[in-house]
Amino acid sequence: MNRFESVSRRRFLLTAGATAATSVLLKGCVGNPPETATNSQTSPAASPVISVKPGEEPEVKTVKLGYIPIVEAAPLIIAQEKGFFAKYGMSEVKVDKQANWGAARDNVKIGSGGGGIDGGQWQMPMPYLITEGLITDNTKIDMYVLCQLNTQGNGIALSNKHAGKNIGLKLDNQVALFNQLKASGTKFKAAYTFPKANQEFWIRYWLAAGGIDPDAEVELLTVPSSQTVADMKRGAMDAFSTGDPWPYRIVADKVGFLSALTAEIWKAHPEEYFALRKDWADKNPKATKAILKGIMEAQQWCDNFDNRKELAQILARREYFGVPEEVLFQPLMGKYDMGERTIDDKSMAVLYWKDSKGSVSYPYKSHDLWFLTESVRWGFLPKETLTTAKALIDRVNREDIWKEAAKEAGIAAADIPTSTSRGVEEFFDGIKFDPENPQAYLDSLKIKKA
Ligand code: CA
């Protein structure tokens, strides 16, 4: 029996696609030495094990996917690195780092045919805004939301100048501080990586829950995550909301502290998503499912905490995030030095496949509705959006394709949600969002524009 035959089928499936040949080529390109196996999760040198069933052969082998260097991107990077895309016949996937969210948007607008991308990682509700032409100069590019990449793994970092002022998850008695900053001409500045999406929503939710009107008491601005540490160091901002490793890095570099993790604001909250251009997915339906199968397998790999050391090593590499492995590894293990307190709880870490509410990967339509409702709350979208939201979500959210791919990949029935709604959601301040009645949620909020 050779070394490959000695590997059990189950293990083979879990670790398939060491893609050593591909990895060596890839590393050769960036001048790194070939990687040696670091632990038992790295399978021996082998070509990807192709697992394409008859009738499921993808129409094409290639697709160009964009990502932003934050932990949300891990399933795309791991599907590539571990050969999970190749396993399902997508052997020539290109996973491309995007300079920022605006660049990702511009690249999906032109598509891979124009030198851009076919889809990739998105904050919400970007795929909806692109579909409606709202952030693409009125050019409507239909998108399909196909899976959620992750939950949690995001946080709100504060500048050290606010240390010791009791600014944490709950902004009890902080209204006076914000008023005073405004009165003295140094309005509290809060930044995020792209406007009108997740990171802006998290910081707005956190402020408003604490009685601070983000539109009146705070100056909100957009800053790419890679600039955050420098900007906070030179005092250009008071707070920053983004994905790991950036909030954590602010603490590691001693320029600030973390006031809240998004996992504290809303446990198992919806975070970032995988979406493709509709024209690409419609033309290549089997390839779309093959990509999804690769992502799902990567999500299971990423969710295994035994793999997180290796995950940190891979993501830290210069061609991906280019950051010290340590600032990635700690938060990946749920170990957060918040600066003024510590959290050591794996259930608070970024999760990719399962969380306390069930499936992470499945794209719940009820979550898309929350993002659209929150957009209405802050006046980003008109009130009428709520009337037409269901039809729009039914067009953009293709959870049906996720389910087909999950079944083809042999995902256990128990891990495939039976409802497109996760039901009533509850936030840290006791506010509830019932997807059956988004207006009641808006009515229950004290600070809002709508
Ligand atoms: Ca994020």
H-helix or E-strand spanning residue 108: helix 101-110
70 Cα–ligand 1 center, Å: 7
Whether residue 28 is contained in a domain is answered as yes
113 Cα–ligand 1 center, Å: 28
Whether residue 393 is contained in a domain is answered as no
Residues in the chain: 450
Comparing 10-24, 180-194, 269-283, 365-379, the range with the smallest average pLDDT is: 10-24
229 Cα–ligand 1 center, Å: 17
Based on the domain organization, do 141 and 275 belong to the same domain? Answer: yes
2 Cα–ligand 1 center, Å: 44
Q: What is the mean pLDDT of residues 122-129?
A: 98
Whether residue 361 is contained in a domain is answered as no
- Give me the pLDDT at residue 45, please: 36
212 Cα–ligand 1 center, Å: 22
Based on the domain organization, do 195 and 127 belong to the same domain? Answer: no
pLDDT range class, residue 244, cuts 50, 70, 90: confident
More confidently predicted of 48 and 181: 181
307 Cα–ligand 1 center, Å: 21
Does residue 15 have a pLDDT over 60? Answer: no
- Give me the pLDDT at residue 228, please: 76
48 Cα–ligand 1 center, Å: 31
DSSP state of 36: P
pLDDT range class, residue 33, cuts 50, 70, 90: very low
241 Cα–ligand 1 center, Å: 8
Can you tell me whether residue 413 is helix, strand or coil? helix
Percentage of residues in the chain with pLDDT exceeding 70? 89
26 Cα–ligand 1 center, Å: 27
Per the DSSP assignment, residues forming a β-bridge with 336 are 343
Whether residue 138 is contained in a domain is answered as yes
Whether residue 185 is contained in a domain is answered as yes
Task: Return the number of other C-beta atoms located less than 10 Å from residue 164's C-beta.
Answer: 9
Does residue 388 have a pLDDT over 80? Answer: yes
**Alpha carbons 433 and 431: distance in angstroms, whole number:** 7
Of 224, 240, 265, which closes a domain? 265
Of 238, 265, 292, which closes a domain? 265
Based on the domain organization, do 224 and 284 belong to the same domain? Answer: no
- Give me the pLDDT at residue 10, please: 37
Does residue 447 have a pLDDT over 80? Answer: yes
Based on the domain organization, do 134 and 253 belong to the same domain? Answer: no
* Distance from the first to the final alpha carbon of the chain: 68
pLDDT range class, residue 250, cuts 50, 70, 90: confident
Based on the domain organization, do 255 and 282 belong to the same domain? Answer: no
203 Cα–ligand 1 center, Å: 12
Based on the domain organization, do 9 and 113 belong to the same domain? Answer: yes
213 Cα–ligand 1 center, Å: 22
Can you tell me whether residue 343 is helix, strand or coil? strand
- Give me the pLDDT at residue 242, please: 85
Can you tell me whether residue 383 is helix, strand or coil? coil
pLDDT tens for 348-362 read 999 999 999 999 999
Q: Which of 123, 204, 124 shows the shortest CA–CA distance to 156?
A: 204
Does residue 40 have a pLDDT over 70? Answer: no
**Alpha carbons 141 and 308: distance in angstroms, whole number:** 36
Does residue 47 have a pLDDT over 60? Answer: no
Specify burial of residue 400 (Cβ count, 10 A radius: 0-12, 13-18, 19+): exposed
State how many domains the chain has.
2
197 Cα–ligand 1 center, Å: 9
55 Cα–ligand 1 center, Å: 36
Based on the domain organization, do 45 and 118 belong to the same domain? Answer: yes
102 Cα–ligand 1 center, Å: 15
122 Cα–ligand 1 center, Å: 9
pLDDT range class, residue 449, cuts 50, 70, 90: very high
- Give me the pLDDT at residue 53, please: 92
CATH code, 130: 3.40.190.10
Whether residue 223 is contained in a domain is answered as yes
Based on the domain organization, do 213 and 306 belong to the same domain? Answer: no
More confidently predicted of 20 and 226: 226
Q: What is the mean pLDDT of residues 193-213?
A: 96
pLDDT range class, residue 48, cuts 50, 70, 90: low
Based on the domain organization, do 135 and 106 belong to the same domain? Answer: yes
244 Cα–ligand 1 center, Å: 8
- Give me the pLDDT at residue 233, please: 87
154 Cα–ligand 1 center, Å: 6
Whether residue 450 is contained in a domain is answered as no
Q: What is the mean pLDDT of residues 238-250?
A: 87
Based on the domain organization, do 163 and 291 belong to the same domain? Answer: no
Which structural domain, as residue segments, surrounds residue 37? 3-151+270-316
Does residue 31 have a pLDDT over 50? Answer: no
Does residue 387 have a pLDDT over 60? Answer: yes
Does residue 28 have a pLDDT over 50? Answer: no
Specify burial of residue 14 (Cβ count, 10 A radius: 0-12, 13-18, 19+): middle
73 Cα–ligand 1 center, Å: 9
Percentage of residues in the chain with pLDDT exceeding 90? 80
150 Cα–ligand 1 center, Å: 9
Based on the domain organization, do 104 and 184 belong to the same domain? Answer: no
**Alpha carbons 123 and 100: distance in angstroms, whole number:** 12
Q: What stretches of 174-270 adopt beta strand conformation (E)?
A: 188-192, 218-222, 239-243, 256-261
Does residue 80 have a pLDDT over 60? Answer: yes
**Alpha carbons 304 and 302: distance in angstroms, whole number:** 5
165 Cα–ligand 1 center, Å: 26
Based on the domain organization, do 145 and 160 belong to the same domain? Answer: no
Of 279, 298, 316, which closes a domain? 316
Whether residue 187 is contained in a domain is answered as yes
130 Cα–ligand 1 center, Å: 18
pLDDT tens for 147-177 read 999 999 999 999 999 999 989 999 988 999 9
Predicted TM-score (pTM) above 0.85: yes
